[in-house]
Structure 1
């Protein structure tokens, strides 16, 4: 009976900056678990809440990047407007900082395909990036499927934007890698 009473608490969503983050998300017939979440900040502004979902929790960023496994990153935008050009520049910078130049050359066409899927985003918009081995990274924005970018190499490079040696921010890397944050997830 005690376990039945605790069940709702075990499956309840967490909240970060008003964004509900479910403990699990269904992906292709299996559940991915919330690994961690954090806030992308720039110049003291909160831009978006990012959450990483994996088959099992892992806290080693290098190991997460090396493991060819399904994952999902959700980006829930907090800032009033993030212009498409700024998004494109951010993706470009993230890839340049974390992918060797030879690898970036091999990814260039797919990176352009990926960037083309993103419009200007506004507060309340959600982008969902889901990687499935053998299929690629699917991009869903505001609930609309935009396309799939193939390749485990692309997926690893994309995830390195948050978990690589030069992540978008160290705090965000720490948060999605499942380490404690300055702002508590409720």
Structure 2
């Protein structure tokens, strides 16, 4: 009996340790926690950006504590991260830049003039070819948004007001994808 118990126990521990601390969404494993500087963040929620029934990317929202009020998150001056994992080879740099332009138009109700240079800087992140499995981390902390691709810092952009407009792309009144927004808010 002992000879059977030990292998089963080892398999249980191995299997549990591989899945502990991860949430799977659309075939992508999102860590349940991450650190930004000295701050620990928790996965608030995540979802899939779809267009015409095609999965484009998985998005996750990390906050210092769980929150389901989108406007409170947009307005919060505290560390947070939007994580994007590209799951489709159909996303191109051009399409992503177009989507970002549209997102800022909606997020700012067409008032992009105050953010024009910052938006151009943000769009430059997508100038390199985008491939399936590329990841983007959009991290806000200390009045600065830092954007990384595949773990490598690309640029930083100053300003809380820019952060509000940027996070509004996914969490605003007219989000990029309503189901993704609800998922990021932990509501579905």
| 1:172 counterpart (155, 158, 180) | 180
Pair member with larger Rg: 2
| 2:100 counterpart (91, 105, 114) | 91
Q: Kindly tell me the number of residue pairs found equivalent between the two proteins.
A: 173
> Which residue number corresponds to residue 184 of structure 1?
none
> Which residue number corresponds to residue 6 of structure 2?
none
- Per the TM alignment, residue 38 of structure 1 is displaced from its structure 2 partner at its CA by 0.5
- In structure 1, C-alpha distance between the alignment counterparts of 2:133 and 2:46, rounded to whole Å: 17
TM-score of the pair, normalised by structure 2: 0.87
| 1:108 counterpart (106, 111, 116) | 116
Matched, 1:39 2:48: yes
- Per the TM alignment, residue 100 of structure 1 is displaced from its structure 2 partner at its CA by 3.2
TM-score of the pair, normalised by structure 1: 0.88
For residues 143-178 of structure 1, what are the alpha-carbon distances to aligned partners after superposition, in whole Å with 9 as ceiling and x for unaligned?
A: 221010111111111100011010011101100011
> Which residue number corresponds to residue 183 of structure 1?
none
After TM superposition, which residue ranges in structure 1, 4 or more long, deviate above 6 angstroms?
Answer: none
> Which residue number corresponds to residue 58 of structure 1?
67
In structure 1, stretches of 5+ residues that fail to align are 181-186
- TM-align CA RMSD: 1.8
| Preserved CA contact (<8 Å) 2:59 2:84 | yes
- In structure 1, C-alpha distance between the alignment counterparts of 2:91 and 2:129, rounded to whole Å: 6
Matched, 1:68 2:77: yes
